[in-house]
Structure 1
Amino acid sequence: MARRLLLATLAFGLILGLIFAIFPEIDLWAASLFYDQQTGRFPMARDEAGETVRNLAYWVPYLLVAPSLFVLIRKFVFPRTKMVIAPSVALFLVGSFIAGPGVLTNLVLKDNWGRPRPNQVEQFGGKSEFEPWWRPGGACHRNCSFVSGEGSLAFWTVAPAMLAPPAARPFTVGAAVVYGISVGGLRVTFGRHFLSDVLFAGVFTVGMVLLFYYLLLAPGRRNDAKLEAQLDKMAFALHRGIAALLAGIGTGLARLGAGLRHAGQALLRRADRD
């Protein structure tokens, strides 16, 4: 199932890419719906209620991933303790969170693609040229428009939604997708992202979630006992590495101390002779 959904997501991404490549004006049209020509602004960007909703929505994914992150950290600090969350589940949630919203969205795309945000382009009172999604290297140099970071975070909630019982999973996953569209759509109304930024954030993030699900939780591949044993080995190796490092630092400091002591004694003897 996860593999079929992953392939379907990739196919949807290809179709989406073609549509927005052939008709890039869709992005401008969608942004224009929320732009006030008279004031030259996106009114929703100054709406306090909208900003409050945005701030609350921002922290939801962090709250959802926090228990799994805590369990993994605890495992590395206390390797002999049994994990209270299944290792495959904890690694699925934390891994997809880091790889999707973390690495792919923020490190790879947002800081390198160069696409200006809607409120930065000439059509909406800015100074930069509009760039379609497929053309990197625009005027933006950092924290750019493609793809939506907050949209990616919101779409990541598909991960915990996929842990629901099979009968409820279509509803929980559907609710997570709606949540992602809503949070990303709010950024469109603020003039901070184009529609394609949000949709591609969903494709990339959901695709990453499905990939991790297939690798860790798909029937026939899931093996929590093996995963926990591997985590134990990694934790003990980390402890040994830290112990060796501390021992090395201690030895170095001891040698330094001995050298300083001998130097001090030599200076005292010279002072006595003088």
Structure 2
Amino acid sequence: MATLSGNDNAGGKDALPRIDRARCALVLFAVFALAVATFVGVPQIDLWFSALFYDAERGGFWLQQVPAATLLRRVLMDLTIAMLLTSVAGLAGGLLLRHPTVGVPVRVWGFIVVLYVLGPGIIVNLILKARWGRARPSDITEFGGAAEFTPAGVISDQCAANCSFTSGEGSSAAALAVSAVLLLYYFAPRVPRWAARLWLALALLLPMAGAMQRVVTGRHFLSDTVFSAVIVAAVALVLHWLFSLREGRARG
């Protein structure tokens, strides 16, 4: 799907990594269709999965009281903030100096900043979470709350603000994964192979664990995190096309 070898960056020093966007779009559409069929077609799956981590005798979603779960969330939030601030600094430095910052093209830093702003920022938090009205698992009657369960994809009035659909931290985790893998493309030739492999593993596993932390602690349904990841992936794919389009015009 994607080429992650620095030798393939034929577009020049300001180019994004080459990927087969048509194939990526096809895979992403298939994942989206599967998610819709699963969570909209069989909404009880969300309840079933959340129930695996709920125990009324232990206080409900008891994993939220486990220090390791809290630590994981804090680490992911810190990494997300660090990635965004680093990207803003890299973008600003590159624009001022007209030179890649730490070997990463200005266009790439800009891609990451826009990805965070559009994905987790505008689409997920400002539009969906603020207007969809889906109550969180810990707030519905099935898990000791007072609100009604709403299937994924159905607009509701069970939550007034900062609601469950979709997951803000899940979308940030997905953006972190995309950004970390993208930066690895540029850093891999300069670090040992074992370090690049460790980077890639952490880039994929930590965000997944962070998104799952929101589910097991009753703050989000599984579908919230899945759709957040799909949204961020779609935004990243569109941005790759737009940034590559501008890249081609600049070369022309």
Structure 2 residue aligned with 1:84: 100
2: CA distance, partners of 1:55 / 1:226:
41
Q: Kindly name which structure, 1 or 2, has the bigger radius of gyration based on alpha carbons.
A: 1
Going from structure 1 to structure 2, the CA distance change for 1:200 and 1:93 (only over 3 Å counts) comes to: same
1:19-34 matches, within 5 Å, as 19-34=38-53
Going from structure 1 to structure 2, the CA distance change for 1:71 and 1:153 (only over 3 Å counts) comes to: same
What is the identity, as a one-letter code, of the residue corresponding to 2:247?
N
Compute the RMSD of aligned alpha carbons.
Answer: 2.7
Equivalent residues, number: 221
1:141-160 matches, within 5 Å, as 141-156=160-175, 157-160=177-180
2: CA distance, partners of 1:215 / 1:172:
27
TM-score by length of 1: 0.72
Structure 1 residue aligned with 2:229: 202
Deviation at 1:50, TM superposition (A): 1.2
Structure 2 residue aligned with 1:261: none
Give CA deviations for 1:42-97 in whole Å, capped at 9, x if unaligned.
10111222111111111212212322212334567x5xx32433222121111111
Going from structure 1 to structure 2, the CA distance change for 1:128 and 1:50 (only over 3 Å counts) comes to: same
Going from structure 1 to structure 2, the CA distance change for 1:144 and 1:209 (only over 3 Å counts) comes to: same
Residues 159, 209 of structure 1: 8 Å contact kept: no
1: CA distance, partners of 2:120 / 2:42:
27
What is the identity, as a one-letter code, of the residue corresponding to 1:123?
E
Residues 94, 100 of structure 2: 8 Å contact kept: no
Structure 2 residue aligned with 1:131: 150
Give CA deviations for 1:97-123 in whole Å, capped at 9, x if unaligned.
111111111011111110000000000
Deviation at 1:14, TM superposition (A): 1.9
Q: Secondary structure at the match of 1:162?
A: helix
Going from structure 1 to structure 2, the CA distance change for 1:23 and 1:173 (only over 3 Å counts) comes to: farther
Task: Please list every run of 5 or more consecutive structure 1 residues that lacks an aligned counterpart in the other structure.
Answer: 228-274
Give CA deviations for 1:174-226 in whole Å, capped at 9, x if unaligned.
75443332111111111000010011111111111122122224xxx463994
What is the percent sequence identity of the aligned residues?
Answer: 31
Residues 3, 211 of structure 1: 8 Å contact kept: no
